[in-house]
Structure formats: C-alpha cells, structure tokens
Amino acid sequence: MYSLTVRDHIMIAHSFQGAIFGPAQRVHGATYLVDACFQRSELDTDGLVVDIGLAGETLKAVLADLNFRNLDDEPEFSGRNTTTEFMARVIFDRMAAAIREGRLGAGARGLERLRVTLHESHIAWASYEGAL
C-alpha cells in the first residue's frame, strides 16, 4: 500500500462534559498538528498517490472552518464532547467529502483509504481511518 501524508495545524478552544475529564471540563485551548494520510494499492499514471499540492491546499481549506473557533459555540457540535478522537472523525469526513467532490483532482479517484491523525502533543495523538 502506497501512502502520502500532508500536515497542517489548527488552534481551537472547547470544554468537555463529564467527571472523567477533570479540569478539562472548563474551557481550554488546544493546538493540533493534523496529518492526512492518503493510501492506495497502485500509483496513478503519473506515479503519484495524490497531488501533494492539492492535498495540502484541501487540508488547509477543511481546517480553516475549525481554526480559531470555540467548538462549544458551533451548533453542529452541540451536546458532543469534541475530543481528539471525535475531531479526527470530523476532519476525516470533511476530507472524504472533498475527495468525492473532486477537489484533489482526477488522480484522487484511485484513493482507497484515508487516515486523519490529530497530535495533541509530542506524546499523545488520535486517529480515524477508513475506506474511501
């Protein structure tokens, strides 16, 4: 399986509901490094997994809707704990939609899998991976 990964980052604020989260029940900030890893069994006719420029631009555009936001104020997340794991799935779904819409070019039609990883720090991260 071939893979290509692009990276960007977002800065958000949020809080969690539930005693398990301790002090994180209060509003706090997070800066996530975000990796989008595109996978396919065979390279396209240009010898690529996907156009790296389009992949990076698309990740940046997807993240722009979340960057510098208090996720507690976003209606789509009402009543949800916007954990790192949860947000990895949110970004996965948005990137998968961008691929389906053709925003990563015709070569992206051959992509088979996508993994989105959010790095909370140098020692902790979470991912969501699925078929496209």
Q: How is the chain split into domains, by residue range?
A: 1-12+33-42+52-60+94-132
- Per-residue model confidence (pLDDT) at position 76: 96
Contacts of 10 (CB under 8 A, 6+ apart): 31, 32, 34, 63, 66, 67
- Gyration radius (Cα) of the chain, Å: 16
pLDDT band at 126 (very low <50, low <70, confident <90, very high): very high
What tens digit of pLDDT does each residue of 95-117 get?
999 999 999 999 899 999 999 99
What tens digit of pLDDT does each residue of 40-98 get?
999 999 999 999 999 999 999 999 999 999 999 999 999 999 999 999 999 999 999 99
User: Which CATH code fits 1-12+33-42+52-60+94-132?
Assistant: 3.30.479.10
- Per-residue model confidence (pLDDT) at position 3: 98
